[in-house]
Amino acid sequence: MIFGRRRNGNHERVTDTGQVARPLRIGLVAPPWVPTPPPAYGGTERVVALIAEGLAARGHDVTLVAAPGSSVPGVRVESPLDELPAEIGLPDEEWRHTMGAVEALADCEAVIDHSSLRSTCMLLSAGLSTAHVVHGAIDRRAAAEAADAARNMPGLRLVALSESQARTGPGLPFMAVCPNAIDVRGVPFRDDHDGYLAFVGRMCADKGVREAIMLARSVGMPLRIAAKCREANEHAYFAEHVEPFLGDGIEYLGELGEDDRWPLLAGARALVFPIAWDEPFGMVMIEAMATGTPVLATGRGAVPEVVRDGATGIVRRTVDELARCVPLLDGIDPQTCRAHVAARFSPRALTRRYEAVAVALAGSGVPAAGRGRRVLARVSALGLMA
Protein backbone atom coordinates (compact mmCIF):
# COMPACT_ATOMS: atom_id res chain seq x y z
CA MET A 1 0.00 0.00 0.00
CA ILE A 2 1.28 3.46 -0.83
CA PHE A 3 0.55 6.15 1.75
CA GLY A 4 0.52 9.89 1.62
CA ARG A 5 0.02 12.58 4.25
CA ARG A 6 -2.53 15.32 4.20
CA ARG A 7 -2.68 18.39 6.37
CA ASN A 8 -5.62 18.68 8.78
CA GLY A 9 -5.39 21.57 11.19
CA ASN A 10 -2.01 21.35 12.89
CA HIS A 11 -1.59 17.63 12.21
CA GLU A 12 -0.39 15.42 9.42
CA ARG A 13 -2.77 12.54 8.73
CA VAL A 14 -1.92 9.21 7.21
CA THR A 15 -4.08 8.40 4.19
CA ASP A 16 -4.53 5.15 2.23
CA THR A 17 -3.78 5.54 -1.47
CA GLY A 18 -2.82 2.11 -2.75
CA GLN A 19 -1.96 -1.52 -2.03
CA VAL A 20 0.22 -3.19 0.59
CA ALA A 21 3.68 -3.92 -0.78
CA ARG A 22 4.49 -6.68 1.74
CA PRO A 23 3.08 -8.27 4.90
CA LEU A 24 4.10 -6.63 8.16
CA ARG A 25 4.72 -7.92 11.67
CA ILE A 26 2.06 -5.96 13.57
CA GLY A 27 1.47 -5.91 17.30
CA LEU A 28 -1.82 -4.93 18.91
CA VAL A 29 -2.26 -4.24 22.62
CA ALA A 30 -5.71 -4.46 24.21
CA PRO A 31 -6.48 -3.46 27.81
CA PRO A 32 -5.88 -6.19 30.42
CA TRP A 33 -9.25 -5.92 32.14
CA VAL A 34 -11.64 -8.03 30.00
CA PRO A 35 -11.09 -10.59 27.22
CA THR A 36 -10.86 -9.67 23.53
CA PRO A 37 -13.55 -9.91 22.24
CA PRO A 38 -15.55 -9.31 25.44
CA PRO A 39 -18.35 -11.55 26.72
CA ALA A 40 -20.48 -8.51 27.64
CA TYR A 41 -19.62 -4.79 27.95
CA GLY A 42 -16.38 -3.76 26.24
CA GLY A 43 -16.52 -1.70 23.07
CA THR A 44 -12.74 -1.26 22.87
CA GLU A 45 -12.07 -4.99 23.04
CA ARG A 46 -14.74 -5.75 20.44
CA VAL A 47 -13.14 -3.32 17.98
CA VAL A 48 -9.62 -4.59 18.68
CA ALA A 49 -10.80 -8.10 17.80
CA LEU A 50 -12.14 -6.81 14.47
CA ILE A 51 -8.87 -5.02 13.71
CA ALA A 52 -6.75 -8.04 14.58
CA GLU A 53 -8.82 -10.44 12.51
CA GLY A 54 -8.98 -8.01 9.59
CA LEU A 55 -5.23 -7.39 9.51
CA ALA A 56 -4.52 -11.12 9.70
CA ALA A 57 -6.93 -11.75 6.82
CA ARG A 58 -4.99 -9.18 4.80
CA GLY A 59 -1.87 -11.33 5.18
CA HIS A 60 -0.11 -9.59 8.05
CA ASP A 61 1.59 -11.46 10.91
CA VAL A 62 -0.45 -10.22 13.87
CA THR A 63 0.32 -10.67 17.56
CA LEU A 64 -2.33 -9.52 20.04
CA VAL A 65 -1.50 -8.90 23.70
CA ALA A 66 -4.76 -9.07 25.61
CA ALA A 67 -6.45 -10.19 28.81
CA PRO A 68 -6.71 -13.87 29.75
CA GLY A 69 -9.50 -15.64 27.87
CA SER A 70 -8.88 -13.71 24.64
CA SER A 71 -9.08 -15.49 21.29
CA VAL A 72 -9.17 -14.12 17.74
CA PRO A 73 -9.14 -16.37 14.63
CA GLY A 74 -5.84 -16.31 12.72
CA VAL A 75 -4.10 -14.20 15.36
CA ARG A 76 -1.35 -15.12 17.83
CA VAL A 77 -2.64 -14.11 21.28
CA GLU A 78 -0.39 -13.50 24.29
CA SER A 79 -1.85 -12.95 27.78
CA PRO A 80 0.85 -11.83 30.25
CA LEU A 81 -1.53 -12.10 33.24
CA ASP A 82 -2.54 -15.49 34.62
CA GLU A 83 -6.09 -14.37 35.41
CA LEU A 84 -8.36 -11.39 34.94
CA PRO A 85 -7.66 -8.54 37.40
CA ALA A 86 -10.11 -8.21 40.28
CA GLU A 87 -10.66 -4.53 39.43
CA ILE A 88 -10.18 -2.24 36.45
CA GLY A 89 -7.23 0.14 36.76
CA LEU A 90 -4.92 -1.78 39.11
CA PRO A 91 -1.46 -0.31 38.37
CA ASP A 92 0.54 -3.47 39.13
CA GLU A 93 -1.60 -5.51 36.77
CA GLU A 94 -1.26 -2.87 34.06
CA TRP A 95 2.51 -2.84 34.55
CA ARG A 96 2.82 -6.63 34.18
CA HIS A 97 0.55 -6.58 31.14
CA THR A 98 2.63 -3.89 29.44
CA MET A 99 5.96 -5.51 30.25
CA GLY A 100 4.61 -8.73 28.78
CA ALA A 101 3.67 -6.76 25.67
CA VAL A 102 7.22 -5.39 25.36
CA GLU A 103 8.57 -8.94 25.39
CA ALA A 104 5.90 -10.44 23.11
CA LEU A 105 6.09 -7.67 20.50
CA ALA A 106 9.86 -7.14 20.43
CA ASP A 107 10.13 -8.21 16.77
CA CYS A 108 7.10 -6.25 15.51
CA GLU A 109 7.61 -3.51 12.94
CA ALA A 110 4.57 -1.58 14.15
CA VAL A 111 2.58 -1.64 17.40
CA ILE A 112 -0.89 -0.17 17.86
CA ASP A 113 -1.74 0.26 21.54
CA HIS A 114 -5.39 0.43 22.61
CA SER A 115 -4.67 0.33 26.35
CA SER A 116 -3.17 3.38 28.07
CA LEU A 117 -0.86 6.28 27.27
CA ARG A 118 1.48 5.02 29.99
CA SER A 119 1.63 1.66 28.24
CA THR A 120 2.46 3.36 24.92
CA CYS A 121 5.29 5.33 26.52
CA MET A 122 6.75 2.11 27.89
CA LEU A 123 6.58 0.48 24.47
CA LEU A 124 8.20 3.52 22.86
CA SER A 125 10.93 3.55 25.48
CA ALA A 126 11.71 -0.04 24.49
CA GLY A 127 12.28 1.10 20.91
CA LEU A 128 8.99 -0.20 19.51
CA SER A 129 7.40 1.99 16.85
CA THR A 130 4.05 2.53 18.55
CA ALA A 131 0.87 4.57 18.14
CA HIS A 132 -1.61 5.13 20.96
CA VAL A 133 -5.32 4.91 20.15
CA VAL A 134 -7.17 7.43 22.33
CA HIS A 135 -10.36 5.76 23.56
CA GLY A 136 -11.32 8.41 26.12
CA ALA A 137 -12.37 12.03 25.97
CA ILE A 138 -9.53 14.54 25.77
CA ASP A 139 -10.26 16.84 28.69
CA ARG A 140 -7.78 19.41 30.01
CA ARG A 141 -5.93 16.88 32.16
CA ALA A 142 -5.71 14.26 29.41
CA ALA A 143 -4.48 16.86 26.92
CA ALA A 144 -1.78 18.02 29.34
CA GLU A 145 -0.64 14.44 29.95
CA ALA A 146 -0.50 13.71 26.22
CA ALA A 147 1.40 16.94 25.51
CA ASP A 148 3.90 16.11 28.27
CA ALA A 149 4.35 12.59 26.89
CA ALA A 150 4.90 13.98 23.38
CA ARG A 151 7.63 16.31 24.65
CA ASN A 152 9.43 13.43 26.39
CA MET A 153 8.74 10.89 23.64
CA PRO A 154 9.40 12.52 20.24
CA GLY A 155 8.19 9.36 18.47
CA LEU A 156 4.75 9.43 20.09
CA ARG A 157 1.85 9.28 17.63
CA LEU A 158 -1.85 9.28 18.44
CA VAL A 159 -4.88 7.86 16.66
CA ALA A 160 -8.32 9.42 17.18
CA LEU A 161 -11.69 7.68 16.90
CA SER A 162 -13.40 10.76 15.43
CA GLU A 163 -12.60 14.17 14.01
CA SER A 164 -14.32 15.81 16.98
CA GLN A 165 -12.03 13.93 19.37
CA ALA A 166 -8.94 15.04 17.45
CA ARG A 167 -10.13 18.66 17.50
CA THR A 168 -10.26 18.63 21.32
CA GLY A 169 -6.47 18.10 21.38
CA PRO A 170 -5.03 20.83 19.12
CA GLY A 171 -1.28 20.49 18.78
CA LEU A 172 -1.22 16.84 19.84
CA PRO A 173 0.52 14.42 17.44
CA PHE A 174 -2.49 12.74 15.82
CA MET A 175 -1.49 10.70 12.77
CA ALA A 176 -4.91 9.30 11.80
CA VAL A 177 -8.64 9.20 12.53
CA CYS A 178 -9.95 5.63 12.61
CA PRO A 179 -13.67 5.40 13.44
CA ASN A 180 -14.86 2.18 15.03
CA ALA A 181 -16.71 -0.45 13.01
CA ILE A 182 -19.08 -3.38 13.12
CA ASP A 183 -19.83 -6.27 10.77
CA VAL A 184 -23.55 -5.96 10.07
CA ARG A 185 -23.61 -9.51 8.70
CA GLY A 186 -23.50 -10.79 12.27
CA VAL A 187 -26.17 -8.41 13.57
CA PRO A 188 -29.89 -9.33 13.66
CA PHE A 189 -32.18 -6.87 11.87
CA ARG A 190 -35.80 -5.87 12.50
CA ASP A 191 -37.95 -3.42 10.58
CA ASP A 192 -40.52 -3.27 13.38
CA HIS A 193 -40.23 -2.65 17.13
CA ASP A 194 -41.79 -3.52 20.49
CA GLY A 195 -42.53 0.00 21.68
CA TYR A 196 -39.89 0.47 24.37
CA LEU A 197 -36.78 2.62 24.60
CA ALA A 198 -33.37 1.08 25.34
CA PHE A 199 -30.29 2.30 27.15
CA VAL A 200 -27.01 0.38 26.81
CA GLY A 201 -23.76 1.59 28.35
CA ARG A 202 -22.07 2.23 31.69
CA MET A 203 -23.82 3.14 34.93
CA CYS A 204 -22.54 6.69 35.28
CA ALA A 205 -23.49 10.34 34.90
CA ASP A 206 -21.48 10.84 31.70
CA LYS A 207 -23.59 8.25 29.88
CA GLY A 208 -26.84 9.80 31.09
CA VAL A 209 -28.72 6.86 32.62
CA ARG A 210 -30.81 9.15 34.83
CA GLU A 211 -31.57 11.40 31.86
CA ALA A 212 -32.71 8.38 29.86
CA ILE A 213 -35.15 7.55 32.65
CA MET A 214 -36.47 11.11 32.75
CA LEU A 215 -36.93 11.14 28.96
CA ALA A 216 -38.83 7.85 28.99
CA ARG A 217 -41.07 9.05 31.82
CA SER A 218 -41.78 12.33 30.05
CA VAL A 219 -42.94 10.61 26.83
CA GLY A 220 -44.76 7.76 28.60
CA MET A 221 -42.65 4.94 27.12
CA PRO A 222 -41.07 1.92 28.84
CA LEU A 223 -37.28 1.95 29.22
CA ARG A 224 -35.07 -1.13 29.42
CA ILE A 225 -31.61 -0.44 30.84
CA ALA A 226 -28.63 -2.70 30.16
CA ALA A 227 -25.61 -1.20 31.87
CA LYS A 228 -22.24 -2.22 33.23
CA CYS A 229 -22.33 -1.79 37.01
CA ARG A 230 -19.21 -3.35 38.55
CA GLU A 231 -17.16 -0.56 40.12
CA ALA A 232 -17.88 1.17 43.44
CA ASN A 233 -18.73 4.49 41.75
CA GLU A 234 -21.12 2.71 39.38
CA HIS A 235 -22.92 1.02 42.28
CA ALA A 236 -23.19 4.38 44.06
CA TYR A 237 -24.65 6.04 40.96
CA PHE A 238 -27.17 3.22 40.55
CA ALA A 239 -28.29 3.47 44.19
CA GLU A 240 -28.82 7.24 44.01
CA HIS A 241 -30.02 7.94 40.48
CA VAL A 242 -31.52 4.74 39.07
CA GLU A 243 -32.81 2.33 41.69
CA PRO A 244 -35.38 4.78 43.17
CA PHE A 245 -37.02 5.14 39.74
CA LEU A 246 -37.33 1.47 38.82
CA GLY A 247 -40.83 0.18 38.19
CA ASP A 248 -43.72 1.65 36.21
CA GLY A 249 -42.03 0.68 32.94
CA ILE A 250 -38.42 1.42 33.98
CA GLU A 251 -36.50 -1.87 34.11
CA TYR A 252 -32.85 -2.62 34.86
CA LEU A 253 -31.66 -5.77 33.10
CA GLY A 254 -28.06 -5.80 34.34
CA GLU A 255 -25.03 -6.12 32.07
CA LEU A 256 -26.05 -8.19 29.06
CA GLY A 257 -23.96 -10.51 26.94
CA GLU A 258 -24.10 -10.38 23.17
CA ASP A 259 -26.87 -13.00 22.85
CA ASP A 260 -29.20 -10.82 24.95
CA ARG A 261 -27.99 -7.37 23.90
CA TRP A 262 -28.83 -7.77 20.20
CA PRO A 263 -32.52 -8.64 20.77
CA LEU A 264 -32.79 -5.72 23.21
CA LEU A 265 -31.45 -3.26 20.63
CA ALA A 266 -33.35 -4.74 17.68
CA GLY A 267 -36.70 -4.61 19.46
CA ALA A 268 -36.37 -1.03 20.74
CA ARG A 269 -38.21 1.97 19.33
CA ALA A 270 -34.97 3.86 19.78
CA LEU A 271 -31.66 3.74 21.60
CA VAL A 272 -31.51 6.60 24.10
CA PHE A 273 -28.02 8.13 24.23
CA PRO A 274 -28.30 11.32 26.35
CA ILE A 275 -24.59 11.75 27.04
CA ALA A 276 -23.18 14.53 29.20
CA TRP A 277 -19.59 14.33 27.97
CA ASP A 278 -17.66 14.61 24.71
CA GLU A 279 -18.08 11.03 23.53
CA PRO A 280 -15.04 9.97 21.43
CA PHE A 281 -17.17 7.63 19.31
CA GLY A 282 -20.04 5.70 20.92
CA MET A 283 -19.94 2.09 19.76
CA VAL A 284 -23.48 1.32 20.91
CA MET A 285 -24.88 3.85 18.44
CA ILE A 286 -23.65 1.90 15.41
CA GLU A 287 -24.72 -1.35 17.08
CA ALA A 288 -28.26 -0.04 17.44
CA MET A 289 -28.45 1.37 13.92
CA ALA A 290 -27.12 -1.93 12.53
CA THR A 291 -30.20 -3.67 13.98
CA GLY A 292 -32.45 -1.06 12.33
CA THR A 293 -33.01 0.93 15.54
CA PRO A 294 -32.59 4.73 15.38
CA VAL A 295 -30.76 6.75 18.01
CA LEU A 296 -32.01 9.58 20.25
CA ALA A 297 -28.85 11.42 21.29
CA THR A 298 -27.57 14.67 22.66
CA GLY A 299 -25.10 16.14 20.18
CA ARG A 300 -21.89 15.94 22.19
CA GLY A 301 -18.54 14.74 20.89
CA ALA A 302 -18.70 12.37 17.92
CA VAL A 303 -22.50 11.96 17.91
CA PRO A 304 -23.08 14.21 14.85
CA GLU A 305 -20.40 12.25 12.95
CA VAL A 306 -22.01 8.88 13.73
CA VAL A 307 -25.75 9.62 13.53
CA ARG A 308 -27.38 11.29 10.52
CA ASP A 309 -29.91 13.59 12.14
CA GLY A 310 -33.37 12.92 10.72
CA ALA A 311 -32.19 9.88 8.72
CA THR A 312 -30.79 7.41 11.26
CA GLY A 313 -31.76 9.15 14.48
CA ILE A 314 -32.52 12.42 16.21
CA VAL A 315 -29.69 14.65 17.50
CA ARG A 316 -30.48 17.63 19.72
CA ARG A 317 -28.75 19.78 22.32
CA THR A 318 -30.86 18.80 25.35
CA VAL A 319 -32.89 15.87 26.67
CA ASP A 320 -36.03 18.04 26.69
CA GLU A 321 -35.58 18.72 22.98
CA LEU A 322 -35.14 15.01 22.34
CA ALA A 323 -38.35 14.23 24.19
CA ARG A 324 -40.29 16.66 22.00
CA CYS A 325 -38.82 15.00 18.89
CA VAL A 326 -39.83 11.41 19.69
CA PRO A 327 -42.72 11.52 17.16
CA LEU A 328 -40.13 12.17 14.41
CA LEU A 329 -38.90 8.59 14.86
CA ASP A 330 -41.87 7.45 12.78
CA GLY A 331 -40.20 8.97 9.72
CA ILE A 332 -36.93 7.02 10.08
CA ASP A 333 -36.48 3.90 7.94
CA PRO A 334 -34.77 0.94 9.70
CA GLN A 335 -33.21 -0.11 6.39
CA THR A 336 -31.57 3.30 6.11
CA CYS A 337 -30.11 2.91 9.60
CA ARG A 338 -28.51 -0.41 8.73
CA ALA A 339 -27.27 0.73 5.31
CA HIS A 340 -25.65 3.77 6.92
CA VAL A 341 -23.61 1.57 9.26
CA ALA A 342 -22.68 -0.91 6.51
CA ALA A 343 -21.43 1.91 4.28
CA ARG A 344 -19.58 4.09 6.78
CA PHE A 345 -18.47 1.80 9.61
CA SER A 346 -17.49 -1.45 7.93
CA PRO A 347 -14.72 -3.84 9.09
CA ARG A 348 -13.04 -3.39 5.70
CA ALA A 349 -12.76 0.37 6.20
CA LEU A 350 -11.54 -0.15 9.76
CA THR A 351 -8.87 -2.61 8.64
CA ARG A 352 -7.60 -0.39 5.83
CA ARG A 353 -7.30 2.60 8.14
CA TYR A 354 -5.30 0.70 10.74
CA GLU A 355 -3.25 -0.91 8.01
CA ALA A 356 -2.30 2.59 6.90
CA VAL A 357 -1.25 3.42 10.46
CA ALA A 358 0.87 0.25 10.67
CA VAL A 359 2.62 0.94 7.37
CA ALA A 360 3.42 4.51 8.42
CA LEU A 361 4.76 3.30 11.77
CA ALA A 362 6.88 0.63 10.12
CA GLY A 363 8.34 3.22 7.78
CA SER A 364 9.43 5.43 10.67
CA GLY A 365 10.50 2.69 13.09
CA VAL A 366 13.86 1.33 14.21
CA PRO A 367 15.31 -2.15 13.61
CA ALA A 368 13.51 -4.79 15.65
CA ALA A 369 16.55 -6.86 16.63
CA GLY A 370 17.46 -6.52 20.29
CA ARG A 371 14.68 -4.05 21.16
CA GLY A 372 13.07 -4.17 24.58
CA ARG A 373 16.01 -5.54 26.58
CA ARG A 374 16.83 -2.26 28.34
CA VAL A 375 13.24 -1.16 28.83
CA LEU A 376 13.13 -1.38 32.64
CA ALA A 377 16.03 1.02 33.08
CA ARG A 378 14.72 3.41 30.45
CA VAL A 379 11.18 3.44 31.83
CA SER A 380 12.45 4.01 35.38
CA ALA A 381 14.65 6.89 34.18
CA LEU A 382 11.66 8.53 32.51
CA GLY A 383 9.61 8.27 35.70
CA LEU A 384 6.89 6.19 34.04
CA MET A 385 6.63 3.77 36.96
CA ALA A 386 5.26 6.48 39.25
Residues 167 and 196 in one domain: no
Domain coverage including residue 373? 3-181+346-382
pTM of the entire structure?
0.85
Whether 83 and 95 share a structural domain: yes
Per-residue pLDDT, 33: 93
Are 103 and 222 in a shared domain? no
* CATH (domain of 296): 3.40.50.2000
DSSP strand pairing (3-8 vs 11-16): antiparallel
Beta bridge partners of 13: 6
pLDDT tens digits, the chain, 386 residues: what are they? 333 444 444 444 454 544 555 899 999 999 999 999 988 666 799 999 999 999 999 999 999 999 999 999 999 999 999 999 988 888 899 999 999 999 999 999 999 999 999 999 999 999 999 999 999 888 888 889 999 988 888 889 999 999 999 999 889 999 999 999 999 998 999 999 999 999 999 999 999 999 999 999 999 999 999 999 988 999 999 999 999 999 999 999 999 988 899 999 999 999 999 999 999 999 999 999 999 999 999 999 999 999 999 999 999 999 999 999 999 999 999 999 999 999 999 999 999 999 999 999 998 755 443 343 444 444 443 443 33
Say yes or no: 81 and 131 in one domain.
Answer: yes
Same domain, 159 and 219: no
Do 105 and 152 belong together in one domain? yes
Q: Tell whether 274 and 331 lie within a shared domain.
A: yes
Domain count within the chain: 2
Residue 10 pLDDT: 40
Residues 153 and 238 in one domain: no
Query: Are 202 and 135 within one domain?
Result: no
